[in-house]
């Protein structure tokens, strides 16, 4: 079960967590070695509002299956990011509604901590992917939070991330299905154009880490962030680094 009620936050998710193509453009070059333009069908597990589904379709001329268990998020994806090469479908990672060997790659973006049974997900991915297909996992991992702005202002967020699957745990779960880690890299992305915008997003508390710290921790962190944002005269982009695991 997801750690956040995405049906409840779907309508305001873009304002709290949304990203533009410019924000995530660094991922294009990072993923290029694993996705051949025009010749891949990518399964986007936990597609949310379709940010990366749309990007993958645009960047690589890929056919994308955007799998999402939340009806609210599916509605937003279909409304905001319709695309001729994207099919949005309802479903869970542990029981994929796809034929055997029907996809060329899988993309799991900030979703593995919401999956109840990661080993079952890995087994299902092994079933629906072609042999030698790549699984691309984008996530915040325990012990790799030094470059996350949210941890700077809300230290309790690091404690929450500490409950997410670690790289070792992810590796173990996928090894049971025959996958092995091929590459690990931290990738920069723009999380907000400046502190004021970052504070506005944080106020919405649409992030799993902010929902799972105490109200006092949240209020204290937000007060510090807003005080710093009030002093901002020339906004500087907030750049975070998330980790990409490449499994094959």
Residue 14 scores a pLDDT above 70: no
Q: Which residues constitute the domain of residue 17? A: 6-144+164-190+240-247
Q: What is the CATH number of the domain that holds 42?
A: 3.40.50.150
pLDDT at 1 over 60: no
Q: Considering the domain boundaries, does residue 179 fall inside one?
A: yes
**Which of residues 6 and 159 earns the better pLDDT score?**
159
Buried b (16+ CB within 10 A) or exposed e, 27-57: beebbeebbeeeebbbbbbbbbbbbbbbbbb
Asked if the structure places residue 195 within a domain, the reply is no
Q: Note whether residue 56 is domain-resident.
A: yes
List C-alpha distances in Å: 45 to 54, 82, 126, 189: 13, 17, 13, 20
- How buried is 236 (Cβ within 10 angstroms: 0-12 exposed, 13-18 middle, 19+ buried)? exposed
Q: pLDDT tens across 119-148, in order?
A: 999 999 999 999 989 999 999 999 999 999
- The answer to whether residue 196 is domain-embedded is no
Q: How many domains does the chain have?
A: 1
* Long-range pairs, 228-235, Cβ under 8 A, ≥24: 228/195, 229/194, 229/195, 229/196, 229/198, 229/199, 232/194, 232/195, 232/196, 235/193, 235/194, 235/195, 235/196, 235/197
Q: What angle do CA 192, 194, 199 make, to 5 degrees?
A: 75
What is the predicted pLDDT for the residue at 171?
Answer: 98
* Beta bridge mates, 44: 66, 107
> For the segment 34-79, what is each residue's pLDDT rounded down to a tens digit?
998 878 999 999 999 999 999 999 999 999 999 999 999 899 899 9
Give the pTM: 0.94
Distance CA 141, CA 154 (A): 16
């Amino acid at each position: 079960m997801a750690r956040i009620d995405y049906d409840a936050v779907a309508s305001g998710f873009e304002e709290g967590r949304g990203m533009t193509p410019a924000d995530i453009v660094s991922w294009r070059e990072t993923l290029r070695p694993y996705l051949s333009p025009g010749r891949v069908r990518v399964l986007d597990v936990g597609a949310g509002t379709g940010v990366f589904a749309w990007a993958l379709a645009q960047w690589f001329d890929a056919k994308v299956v955007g799998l999402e268990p939340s009806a609210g998020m599916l509605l937003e994806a279909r409304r905001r990011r319709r695309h001729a090469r994207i099919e949005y479908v309802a479903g869970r990672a542990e029981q994929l509604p796809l034929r055997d060997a029907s996809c060329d790659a899988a993309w799991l973006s900030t979703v593995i901590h919401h999956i109840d049974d990661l080993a079952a997900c890995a087994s299902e991915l092994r079933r629906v992917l072609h042999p030698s297909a790549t699984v691309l996992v984008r996530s915040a991992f325990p012990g790799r939070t030094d470059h996350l702005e949210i941890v700077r202002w809300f230290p309790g967020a690091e404690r929450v991330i500490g409950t997410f699957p670690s790289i070792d745990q992810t590796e173990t779960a996928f090894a049971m299905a025959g996958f092995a880690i091929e590459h690990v890299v931290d990738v920069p992305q723009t999380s907000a154009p400046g502190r004021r915008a970052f504070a506005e997003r944080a106020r919405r508390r649409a992030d799993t880490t902010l929902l799972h710290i105490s109200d006092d921790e949240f209020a204290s962190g937000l007060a510090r962030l807003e005080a710093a944002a009030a002093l901002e005269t020339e906004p500087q982009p907030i750049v975070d680094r998330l980790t990409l695991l490449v499994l094959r």
